[in-house]
Chain A
Amino acid sequence: ETGVTQTPRHLVMGMTNKKSLKCEQHLGHNAMYWYKQSAKKPLELMFVYSLEERVENNSVPSRFSPECPNSSHLFLHLHTLQPEDSALYLCASSPYQGTFTNEQFFGPGTRLTVL
């Protein structure tokens, strides 16, 4: 595997379900990101982790819970989601030295549908 991988690629879940999205990067980067991309909306940065510590949390509802066990893996735990949470969830990684001035490498995304 190379680059940034995400699983699953597609996920359909009910509002009462609990599921997790997984992201793995094979680039040796020390920062990982979760983005939400909805139709007709720009990419929204949700969380940033640098060296397994959260450095950014853009007022994301608590039904989204990130976890970064090491610099290569990032999870997004989902519970009691709403239909408006249906979107493409993108993971990215980059080198990070306290600023965002580095190229971010994106994974292919997980298409989430909440029924």
Chain B
Amino acid sequence: QQPVQSPQAVILREGEDAVINCSSSKALYSVHWYRQKHGEAPVFLMILLRGGEQKGHDKISASFNEKKQQSSLYLTASQLSYSGTYFCGTESDTGNQFYFGTGTSLTVIP
């Protein structure tokens, strides 16, 4: 029931782009994205609701394809501060079930 994220890890140079995918086997009502830096608590990035909306702020955006039960997080022109582990969280549309994904470790190097 927990969503699967890909890739598991990625290394980027500053200025490069990355895409992180989150895939669920269940029909979804919402998808959350969080970033956790080493030794710190997860920090909220955005929530997407069923309806295929796309959200973004600054150079981080996301999309939600409810037919495929997938969400993608897009990081453009990556900065050193983007380094961390990214988690998607999915809420099922059949009830109050919420699961975090397996996580994607992203490292941005100069």
Contacts and interface: CB of A to CB of B under 8 A. Distances in A.
Q: Describe A's contact surface by its main secondary structure.
A: loop
Contacts of B43: 106
Interface string A78-108: 0000000000001000000011111111111
A43 B100 contact: yes
Contact of B30 (A4, A42, A90, A99): A99
Contacts of B87: 42-43
A42 B99 CA distance: 9
Q: Describe B's contact surface by its main secondary structure.
A: strand
Interface size class of B (residues with CB under 8 A): 20 to 34
Interface size class of A (residues with CB under 8 A): 20 to 34
B12 interface: no
A104 B100 contact: no
B29 A99 contact: yes
Interface of A: 4, 35, 42-45, 48, 55-56, 90, 98-109
Contacts of A55: 96
